[in-house]
Amino acid sequence: MSISAMTRLAAALALATLAAGASAHEWCRSKYGPADEIGAANLLNPQLALEAAKLVKTGKTYRLGVETNSKTPAYGPRSWALAINQPGQVGGVGLGPTKTNYNDDIYMGYVGTGSQIDGLGHIGVDNVYYNCHKNSEFVQANGLSKLGVEKLPPFVTRGVVLDMTAYFGQNPVPEGTTFNRKEIDEQARRQGVEIREGDVVLFHTGWLQLVGKDDKRFISVEPGLGKDGAEYLASKQVVAVGADTWGLEVIPAEKGAGVFEVHQILIPKHGIYILENIDTSELVKDKGWEFMFVLGVSRMTGGVQGIINPVAIR
């Protein structure tokens, strides 16, 4: 083979390698551009907020966050503790001539305990995260340099809750029970609602009622969303998906599903946020199938997750 032919072959192989590398990560590219860091939150806009406001008929509000403390069951090594102190007031001494007293609290623990939002920097696929950000390029011990939760805009949009206890006829829905497109569509039809672009979709399984009664069962398994269901909701272009479970997706997982693969489908592949441990019980009790959903995430610079207490208004 001549030198020129070898050169051409080498160039062709190099181009093929580059093309293969590019296509391998094509799944992670944001449709909102290379600078995008907020994914599906780009869908939020004033019109969605105005349309959501039209759903308010009674003014009744629902807090969707759970009470959280050191006994709250949490995934893996996560722990939680709170310490109260009275700076400069040892022995009950007041400050100044008016003897002012004050308490401060120090939080020590994992943000991913209790009701939480999983940001786009939480889950990756082989060290590649949303919009093709590589782990080594943005993950630092003192915070993320990309995809931090401080970038998130306020969530004011339409919310929908699907009562899966009614669908399966069991409360709570047993662990390992999967809901996919079929179950989602059928329950939405039963409730007379449709899932639209820009929605926040919540699932009620009754699983939270196990907290304080059977914490070991609660945090080790759960009913939840399957891979097909996650892809279906992504095709609907929802902003966030949540449930009254600690991890949203079904555990034990469906046959052939990887570790937290539903998380991978929603977060790094589609930029859709996950809401966990969301208390949907009162909404379901009142048959509040659609509502105005409001959420402001704590703007911790470089944060992966956020402690949340979303509000539903009907």
Statement: 28-73+111-313 belongs to CATH 3.50.30.50:
yes
Tokens representing 181 are 């497109």
Strands ordered across the beta sheet of 240-243:
61-63, 311-313, 290-295, 155-163, 200-204, 240-243, 273-276, 116-118, 305-307
3-state secondary structure the chain: CCHHHHHHHHHHHHHHHHHHHHHHCHHHCCCCCCCCCCHHHHHCCHHHHHHHHCCCCCCCEEECCCCCCCCCCCCCCCCEEEEEECCCCHHHCCECCCCECCCEEEEEECCCCCCEEECCCCCCECCECHHHCEHHHHEECCEECCCCHHHCCCEEEEEEEEEHHHHHCCCCCCCCCEECHHHHHHHHHHHCCCCCCCCEEEEECCHHHHCCCCHHHHHHCECEECHHHHHHHHHCCCCEEEECCCCCECECCCCCCCCCHHHHHHCCCCCCEEEECCCCHHHHHCCCCEEEEEECCCCCCCCCEEECCCEEEC
Tell me the C-alpha distance between 133 and 24, whole Å: 14
* pLDDT for 24: 54
The CA distance from 56 to 84, in Å, is 39
Q: What angle do CA 149, 50, 185 make, to 5 degrees?
A: 75
Hey, CA dihedral for 146, 152, 157, 159, is it positive or negative? positive
13: phi > 0 → left, psi -120 to 50 → alpha, else beta; which? alpha
Q: Please list the residues that pair with 163 across neighbouring strands.
A: 204
> Considering only CA atoms, which of 267, 262, 240, 163 is closest in space to residue 207?
163
Give the integer Cα–Cα distance in Å for 67 and 285: 19
Report the C-alpha dihedral over residues 233, 238, 242, 243, rounded to 10 degrees: -50
Q: Where are the domains of the chain?
A: 28-73+111-313
pTM (two decimals): 0.91
Strand pairing class (200-204; 290-295): unpaired
For residues 165-190, b (16+ Cβ closer than 10 Å) or e, as one string?
bbbbeeebbebebbbbeebbeebbee
Closest CA to 227 of 190, 180, 272, 183: 180
pLDDT value, residue 17: 41
| pLDDT at site 92 | 87
pLDDT (tens, 9 = 90+) of the chain, 314 residues, equals 555 554 554 444 444 444 444 445 789 999 999 999 999 999 999 999 999 999 999 999 999 999 999 999 999 999 999 999 999 998 889 999 999 999 999 999 999 999 999 999 999 999 999 999 999 999 999 999 999 999 999 999 999 999 999 999 999 999 999 999 999 999 999 999 999 999 999 999 999 999 999 999 999 999 999 999 999 999 999 999 999 999 999 999 999 999 999 999 999 999 999 999 999 999 999 999 999 999 999 999 999 999 999 999 99
- The confidence score (pLDDT) of residue 8 equals 53
Identify whether the C-beta of residue 168 lies closer than 8 Å to the C-beta of residue 65. Answer: no
